[in-house]
Amino acid sequence: MLKITREEIIDGKFERVLNFFRSRSMWMLYYCTGCGAVELPPTMTSRYDMERFGIGPMATPRQADILLVTGYVSVKTLKRIVYSYEQMPEPKWVVGFGSCPVNGGIYWNSYATINHLDKYIPVDISIPGCMPRPQAVIDGLIGLMDMIGRGEAVGYKKYQLNNEWYKKNQREILERAKPVLGGTK
């Protein structure tokens, strides 16, 4: 088993200078799986205005720094989330938004959803709540900014180091998503 200390995985001095800029200009891609996306418009617009922290929406995974998984993740959308995550260039961060990506939320015993998102892609910070209010969302994103500034938000490095473990977990779920009645080959 690979033993990695904290000092080895957190960002170095030069990276931390760049992290100053990265944390003050975070562009997000929100994957609107569930009900959470409805909390984002008030967070972005006049009432709570997240652009004052340099956080703004972006259209495609290539341009985005943070991936917001807003709500429950069904076994079919997991595949798309993994695709979107792997298309993003590094450094990249994931925010689990609401209770569902943390532990399944009210869908914890559903046959169609997964319960723990961080078994499949590395989640850097989670914002609990059902749903989290805009204040909580901004608080969570500021927490992520602090983590990036300290060089501790290294989920993407964990994904590289433990890629086999993540891929094994993803395969187990994606087996379940195959069509029952034959489907296309």
Partner 1 sequence: MMEILSVLGYSFFVMAAGLLYMGIGRKIAARLHRRYGPPVWQCYIDVVKCFSRRSISHNFIMDLGSMMGLSGLLAAAMFIPMASFLPFPSQGPIIVILYLMPIGYLGMAMGVSASGNPLAAIGIGRALTLMMGYEVPFAMIVLTFVASFSSTSLVKLQELQAGGIMNWHMVTMPIGFAAALIALMGMLGKKPFDTMIAPSEIASGPMVELSGKFLGLAFLQHATAIFVETGLIVIMFLGGASNVFEFVAKQALVYIVMASLSELWARYRVEQATKFLWISAGSLALVQLIVNMAGRK
Query: Per rule CB under 8 A, is residue 90 in the interface with partner 1?
Result: yes
Query: Per rule CB under 8 A, is residue 65 in the interface with partner 1?
Result: yes
- Single-letter amino acid, residue 20: F
Q: How does strand 56-57 pair with strand 27-31?
A: parallel
Number of residues that bind partner 1 (CB under 8 A): 22
Here's the x/- map for partner 1, 3-42, by CB under 8 A: it reads as ---------------x--xx-xx-----------------
Give min distance, CB of 43 to partner 1, in A. 12
Look up residue 63 and give its two tokens. Answer: 């341009």
Comparison of 53 and 136: residue with beta carbon closer to partner 1: 53
The per-residue DSSP string of 56-106 comes to EE-SSTTT-SEEEEES-EEHHHHHHHHHHHHHSPSS-EEEEESSHHHH-GG
Q: Which listed residue (4, 9, 38, 60) binds partner 1 by CB under 8 A?
A: 60
Comparison of 59 and 180: residue with beta carbon closer to partner 1: 59
Query: Per rule CB under 8 A, is residue 93 in the interface with partner 1?
Result: no
19-25 CB contacts, 8 Å cutoff, 24+ apart: 19/148, 19/149, 19/151, 20/149, 22/65, 22/91, 22/148, 23/144, 23/145, 23/146, 23/148, 23/149, 24/53, 24/54, 24/145, 25/54, 25/65
Give min distance, CB of 77 to partner 1, in A. 18
Residue 103 CB partners (closer than 8 Å, separation 6+): 115, 116
Q: Which listed residue (36, 91, 132, 134) binds partner 1 by CB under 8 A?
A: 91
User: Could you give the CA distance from residue 65 to residue 129 in angstroms, rounded to a whole number?
Assistant: 23
Here's the x/- map for partner 1, 124-143, by CB under 8 A: it reads as --------------------
Query: Per rule CB under 8 A, is residue 89 in the interface with partner 1?
Result: yes
Q: Which listed residue (46, 111, 175, 179) binds partner 1 by CB under 8 A?
A: 46
Residues engaged in binding partner 1 (CB under 8 A): 18, 21-22, 24-25, 45-46, 49, 51-54, 57-60, 62-63, 65, 89-91
